[in-house]
Structure 1
Amino acid sequence: QFARVATAMRQGGTVYLNDAIASGNKDFSTTAMPLAMGRVALGVFSRRELAEHVVRAREAGLVCFSGMKLDKLKQLHGVVARGRVELILAGGGLAMALLKASAERDGRRISIGAAGDPAQREAKAYVPATAVEQARKLLATAEERGVRVVLPVDFVLDDGRVADEIPPDAWQRDIGPKTRQLFHDEALAWAGSTKRRVAFHNGVMGQFENRAFAAGTESLVETLKALHAAGVAVYVGGGEGRAALERYGSLGDVTHAFTAGGTILKCLADEPLPFLEALAAQASGQD
């Protein structure tokens, strides 16, 4: 199958330049295309993203992760294992998995609402047992590394109410006001005490496209702006995080906002980038 794809690609040209880092995460063509070409190169924009901004973002001492993509737990675990991060702020579905894992580890009972109900397994916000297990491993590594993991203490529910605990039949849609203040205070306290003056954020705290669930994300953008004003290099990764930054601030309020999400997370977690490996493999045979 690959041979057929490669043959078809060669009919369109023999020189390949990749300057689309945002499409390098899952796009098969970014891996297959270089191997089918005679000459390959990495574009100026992608080279600058990787050589300058990604290298700096990998030194982040503060990492803020949120959103419903539970596969981010794997990347976050990789970030923790690298031994650079000192403080993690987590929201969204990631926080649900971490809250459940933390409670089970400590022998406490906790409800993460409908997100933990197997009857809701088809829902996007459902948190399966496999995600809780991944979260448990992450917390264990964080404890070994001396990393503080700060999780939400209150929530905005799907009916708009604010609650410290999520009823079994409810969904959390945003972090609550106490959590917004907690995250802000933790971030600024970290900035005032650390030598690692780099922060990285990925995701959004709630369904910010709905005004009823936007306060957490808006508050986080204000926190990022405050960190940047305090001299911290602030990096934002992913489409949603970048969109939230532009809605509640501007790209100039942080050091850099990546267009790529998954690719940057892989870089921070020391995971291989197949499109770069393909480029390197093909380039090694060039004159």
Structure 2
Amino acid sequence: IKYLTDRGAKVILASHLGRPKGQVVEEMRLTPAAARLSELLGKPVAKADEAIGDTVKAQISKLNDGDVLLLENVRFYAGEEKNDPELAKAFAELADLYVNDAFGAAHRAHASTEGIAHHLPAVSGLLMEKELDVLGKALNNPDRPFTAIVGGAKVKDKIAVIEKLIEIADNIIIGGGLSYTFFKAKGYEIGKSLVDNDRLELVQEFERKAKEKGVNFLLPVDVVVGDDFSASANAKIVDVDQIPADWEGFDIGPKTRELFAKTIAESKLVVWNGPMGVFELKPFEDGTKAVAEACAATAGYTVIGGGDSAAAVEKFHLGDKMDHISTGGGASLEFMEGKALPGVVALNDK
């Protein structure tokens, strides 16, 4: 934004907040964002109460070179998430050039991210460029050893990325809720832990494929179990084949933290997507914290894949120790799966 205003451009900003489902929701207006942005830019930011139409056009006509106008939440329009061509055209009528700097929304084909790019010269912003450069290099020409850390709750969300990583990584670290499906596939008692019973064969296949390709596939060796999903739960550390039948796994244990940290320390590139446990609850935060600390300490280049991993890094005040924190959880995951991102495909400067 500063780059453009410093060069005398009239900058019209479009963004969304929350999921208002095509309706005006008062508490999802972007008015507070305009106020905060003017503090950050050190200049006034005008705010429109709509995102298209004559009133907005009138406000734009009053802008001087270097001025900034923030449009209202684009998701107040039902056509936004449907990528309605008429809405895209209405957005395009407001400007001469389109810059997409929203990597976090690039995996969505919406009117303000994809549709508009068919009507205006459309280019990538500086943040979008950095995201694509960093993640693109990690996928196409990684520094080695390359370690990928995959956590989070559900196996189904991470299938495609694990498949892709087996092709390119040297080490794959598995943690979080999805690890219990691997344990169950080995015949271990997992108690009340999260499990995906439809994918027991698939996770065995992952391990087999990794072995075939000489990829070091690391699963937890011990876990922290709790008798309740709460901050006041009783917690204890057990080996992965010793989970009590009425307890639930919520975090990786100390031996695992050490094992994972050693691998991270020896890596030239680390890409982390998904926490190691329920880091929002005090008794189960230590595993995710240990991985975050290992990423902060390694001499290797660290890429944090947005979403919960980014939230964890911020929670433990380690953000400034990471080389790149992606602004897109879902987008970085889809990019790493090798999927084309509609918001990027629509741009002119591939």
Aligned pairs (5 A) from 1:195-234: 197-227=268-298, 231-234=299-302
Q: Residues 82-132 of structure 1, C-alpha deviation per residue, up to 9 Å, x if partnerless?
A: xx311111111221223334x1xxxxx2122223xxxxxxxxxx4223333
Give the distance between the partners of 2:225 and 2:112, measured in 1 at CA. Answer: 41
Aligned twin of 2:59: none
How many pairs align? 254
Aligned twin of 1:122: none
Contact preservation (8 Å) 1:65, 1:89: yes
Give RMSD over aligned pairs.
2.5
> Partner amino acid for 2:160?
K
Q: Runs of 4 or more off by more than 6 Å in structure 1? A: 1-4
> Partner amino acid for 1:98?
F
Aligned pairs (5 A) from 1:77-226: 77-81=163-167, 84-101=168-185, 103=186, 109-115=187-193, 126-159=194-227, 160-164=235-239, 165-188=242-265, 190-191=266-267, 197-226=268-297
Give the distance between the partners of 1:88 and 1:158, measured in 2 at CA. Answer: 26
> Partner amino acid for 1:142?
A
Task: State which of 37, 48, 57 in structure 1 corresponds to 2:130.
Answer: 48
Give the distance between the partners of 1:90 and 1:4, measured in 2 at CA. Answer: 36
Give the distance between the partners of 1:28 and 1:135, measured in 2 at CA. Answer: 34
Aligned twin of 2:11: none
Contact preservation (8 Å) 1:86, 1:147: yes
Partner of 2:347: helix, strand, or coil? Answer: helix
Contact preservation (8 Å) 2:114, 2:342: no
Aligned twin of 1:6: 85
Q: 1:25–1:136: structure 2 CA closer, same or farther, 3 Å change rule?
A: farther
Q: Residues 187-240 of structure 1, C-alpha deviation per residue, up to 9 Å, x if partnerless?
A: 33x33xxxxx2111111111111111111111111211221xxx2111111222
Q: How far did 1:167 drift?
A: 2.4
Contact preservation (8 Å) 2:303, 2:325: yes
Aligned twin of 1:275: 343
Contact preservation (8 Å) 2:269, 2:302: yes
Q: 1:3–1:273: structure 2 CA closer, same or farther, 3 Å change rule?
A: closer
Contact preservation (8 Å) 1:79, 1:270: no
Contact preservation (8 Å) 1:24, 1:263: yes
Tell which deviates more after alignment, 242-251 or 206-215: 242-251
Q: Residues 129-163 of structure 1, C-alpha deviation per residue, up to 9 Å, x if partnerless?
A: 33333323322321221101111111111231222
> Partner amino acid for 2:119?
M
Give the gaps of 5 or more residues in structure 1: 104-108, 116-125, 192-196
| Superposition TM-score, scaled by structure 1 size | 0.79
User: Which structure's CA Rg is the greater one?
Assistant: 2
| Superposition TM-score, scaled by structure 2 size | 0.66
Aligned twin of 1:123: none
Which structure's residues are more often helix, by fraction?
1
Aligned twin of 1:262: 330
Relative contact order: is structure 1 or structure 2 higher (C-alpha 8 Å, sep ≥ 6)? 1
Partner of 1:12: helix, strand, or coil? Answer: helix
Task: State which of 225, 235, 243 in structure 1 corresponds to 2:311.
Answer: 243
> Partner amino acid for 2:238?
A
Give the gaps of 5 or more residues in structure 2: 1-78, 228-234
Q: Residues 17-41 of structure 1, C-alpha deviation per residue, up to 9 Å, x if partnerless?
A: 2110011224644664246523322
Structure 2 residue 100 is the aligned partner of structure 1 residue 18: yes
Partner of 2:192: helix, strand, or coil? Answer: helix
